């Protein structure tokens, strides 16, 4: 019902999005861009192909002024006032397609982007648990017969493949060890896959990207959902990542939450901003305000729709929530 209402309202949004956009800044979020099938993310991210990505960029450029990191900070402080509202392009997770595909497109168009990375996966030392789940889901689709032990391991009885696949894809950070056990049963070798396909960037590639003017910043050590962690655990994974960024000369002034900042309390932000080097943090709740003024919400752009349609729906939803004073995230 909610989606139907938003779709109807979105149809009435002006095509001049830059003018009617409710905030002074637009923060689009991507993970990967590829014309190929990527088994390690195809079941968890609806990434765009190069044509769709370029169409998004052209639409954004028509309505906003793309800015780099320093310009973004200057805009927020009022020291820089461009004629258009601004857009800061962001990527998460440090996938190799950023180097191979996205960066050349962005350089051709003169657009800056910041990629928020997890050091645990850089240099392909390991793989994020959701990527492991995607590989397992992919293997499951190709298997003619399923080892009954797999159903037992996941506490399932007489379930069909679609339920089994859904269960694998729902495994969370705290349960992630079971994915390695399932890999054995499904004959998936995560290490061999990482070695052959190198899904993540190397530290050297990140350094080269930074040298070419792109931002490389913090996305936690190994991509947990912060709302499920204690404050101590939240700070440990955050601080460990900042140490990596500093050691390699990357951008250590910002932090982007892995997954979402849903259920993250005010005490984390109080602790985070004790570090005076950190300028701001980023969530991904779409067009929304936040009671923590230095926490900015980004717009996920990989929803199976064009960038224009996603922005119109987000704008419609923001206006709808504004009517009932629900367009600001309040932290306890």
Ordered structural domains, the chain, with CATH: 2-126+199-329 (3.20.20.370), 129-194 (no CATH)
The pTM for the full model equals 0.95
First to last CA, the chain: 30
Residue 12: pLDDT band with limits 50, 70, 90: confident
Question: How far, in Å, CA of 110 to CA of 171, rounded?
Answer: 39
Name the nearest CA neighbour of 283 among 255, 242, 310, 306.
255
pLDDT tens per residue across span 54-98: 999 999 999 999 999 999 999 999 999 999 999 999 999 999 999
Instruction: Determine the pLDDT at residue 173.
Output: 97
Q: pLDDT confidence of 157, banded at 50, 70, 90?
A: confident
Sheet holding 295-297, edge to edge: 295-297, 280-283, 254-256, 215-218, 113-117, 89-92, 28-30, 299-300
What are 241's two structure tokens?
A: 């990542």
The pLDDT tens digits for 89-148 are 999 999 999 999 999 999 999 999 999 999 999 999 999 999 999 999 999 999 999 999
Q: Please provide the DSSP assignment of 106-169 as one string.
A: HHHHT--EEEEE-TTTGGGSS--HHHHHHHHHHHHHH-SS--HHHHHHTT--S--HHHHHHHHH
């Amino acid at each position: 019902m909610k989606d139907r209402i938003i779709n109807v309202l979105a149809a009435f949004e002006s095509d001049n999005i830059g003018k009617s956009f409710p905030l002074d800044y637009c923060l689009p979020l991507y993970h990967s861009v590829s014309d190929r099938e990527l088994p390690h993310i195809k079941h968890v991210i609806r990434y765009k192909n190069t044509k769709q990505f370029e169409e998004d960029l052209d639409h954004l450029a028509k309505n906003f002024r793309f800015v780099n990191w320093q310009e973004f900070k200057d805009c927020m402080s009022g020291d820089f006032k461009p004629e258009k509202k601004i857009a800061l392009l962001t990527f998460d997770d440090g996938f190799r397609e950023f180097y191979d595909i996205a960066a050349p497109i962005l350089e051709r168009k003169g657009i800056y982007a910041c990629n928020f990375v997890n050091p645990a996966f850089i240099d392909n030392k390991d793989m994020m648990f959701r990527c492991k789940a995607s590989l397992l889901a992919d293997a499951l689709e190709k298997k003619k017969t399923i080892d009954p032990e797999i159903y037992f391991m996941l506490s399932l009885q007489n379930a069909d493949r679609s339920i089994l696949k859904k269960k694998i894809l729902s495994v969370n950070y705290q349960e992630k060890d079971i994915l390695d056990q399932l890999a054995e049963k499904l004959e998936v070798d995560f290490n061999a896959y990482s070695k052959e396909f190198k899904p993540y960037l190397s530290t050297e590639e990140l350094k080269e990207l930074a040298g070419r003017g792109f931002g490389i910043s913090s996305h936690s050590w190994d991509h947990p959902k912060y709302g499920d962690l204690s404050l101590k655990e939240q700070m440990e994974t955050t601080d460990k990542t900042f140490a990596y960024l500093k050691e390699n000369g990357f951008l250590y002034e910002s932090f982007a939450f892995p997954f979402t900042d849903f259920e993250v309390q005010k005490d984390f932000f109080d602790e985070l901003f004790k570090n005076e080097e950190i300028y701001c943090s980023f969530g991904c709740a779409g067009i929304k305000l936040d009671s923590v003024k230095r926490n900015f919400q980004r717009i996920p752009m990989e929803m199976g729709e064009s960038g224009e349609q996603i922005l119109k729906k987000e704008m419609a939803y923001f206006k709808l929530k504004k009517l009932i004073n629900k367009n600001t995230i309040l932290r306890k």
